[in-house]
Amino acid sequence: MERWRGALTLLGDDAARVRWRYAAFELDPSIPSQGVDPRASLEAKYGPGAAEVLGGRLAEVAEAEGLPMVALAEIKVRPNTFGAHRLLTAALEEGEAAQQALADALFAAYWARGEDVGDAEVLGAVSAAAGLSRDWAAANLAADANVAEVRAEERRAAERGIRAVPTFVFAERSALSGAQAPEALADAVRQALASSQAPGSAGADGQDRRRRGTPGS
């Protein structure tokens, strides 16, 4: 997120023309509701020692970006994030800023504190920290709210060939995946804004900036 926000800073006055939100994407939707052991999961997919290698890389990136991050060995659960995606979708009904605040709180809960963001109690606390409420989270998780919407967004991501997080989709026309530099992201936004002003385009107000994925997904 810091690189994306850095890109917005580089845009200067053009940043006011950008609207962006999170869209649903799970790296591994097969994770059961109670989550899985992160070390076992990583080593089953990537081989022995994968947890240490990945943990080291993530720690280096976090340190370089000045972000707090708990040691990967201290994260006890790789969570199922479907509930988190449902809440992020519900938060968008309160506005893009509300969704972004909830996403920030989810990232902090998982990466900085090692909490299980697949757990309903944790999701309630995170929602409250983001300025929503525990009752709001419980109500959205108790019903079938946003289940269909999240599944539909995940299908659209699959149809676009999205396989990694983060992936940034610009105006539904172009995309960038991976840990891109702020300069590359800013350039992609400028190109999307320029395209929106071409004859026959929808206009700058129709620009949509998406960053898919949630902590541990």
- What's the pLDDT tens digit per position in 30-52? 999 999 999 999 899 889 988 88
Which residues, at least 6 apart from 59, have a Cβ–Cβ distance to it below 8 Å? 69, 71, 72
Q: What is the mean pLDDT of residues 171-180?
A: 90
Q: pLDDT class for 64, splitting at 50, 70, 90?
A: confident
Q: Residue 62 and residue 110: Cα distance in Å, rounded?
A: 13
Q: Residue 147 and residue 67: Cα distance in Å, rounded?
A: 32
Q: Which of 10-14, 26-30, 83-87, 210-214 has the lowest mean pLDDT?
A: 210-214
Sign of CA dihedral 44, 47, 53, 57: negative
**Over 90: is that where the pLDDT of 69 sits?**
yes
Q: Name 36's bridge partners.
A: 78
Distances (CA, A) of 16 to 11, 62, 83, 139: 9, 28, 31, 34
**Over 50: is that where the pLDDT of 173 sits?**
yes
Q: pLDDT class for 13, splitting at 50, 70, 90?
A: very high
Note the pLDDT tens digit of each residue in 109-138: 999 999 999 999 999 999 999 999 999 999
**Over 60: is that where the pLDDT of 159 sits?**
yes
Distances (CA, A) of 15 to 81, 104, 158, 169, 207: 30, 19, 29, 16, 11
Higher confidence at residue 45 or residue 184? Answer: 184
**Over 90: is that where the pLDDT of 214 sits?**
no
What does the pLDDT read at residue 153? 95
Q: pLDDT class for 66, splitting at 50, 70, 90?
A: confident
Average pLDDT over the chain, rounded to an integer? 89
Q: Residue 156 and residue 165: Cα distance in Å, rounded?
A: 15
What does the pLDDT read at residue 7? 96
Percentage of the chain lying above the pLDDT 70 cut: 90
Domains of the chain: 2-36+77-212 (3.40.30.10)
Q: Residue 87 and residue 136: Cα distance in Å, rounded?
A: 9
Q: Name 169's bridge partners.
A: 175, 210
Q: Residue 146 and residue 153: Cα distance in Å, rounded?
A: 10
Note the pLDDT tens digit of each residue in 187-211: 999 999 998 765 444 434 434 445 4
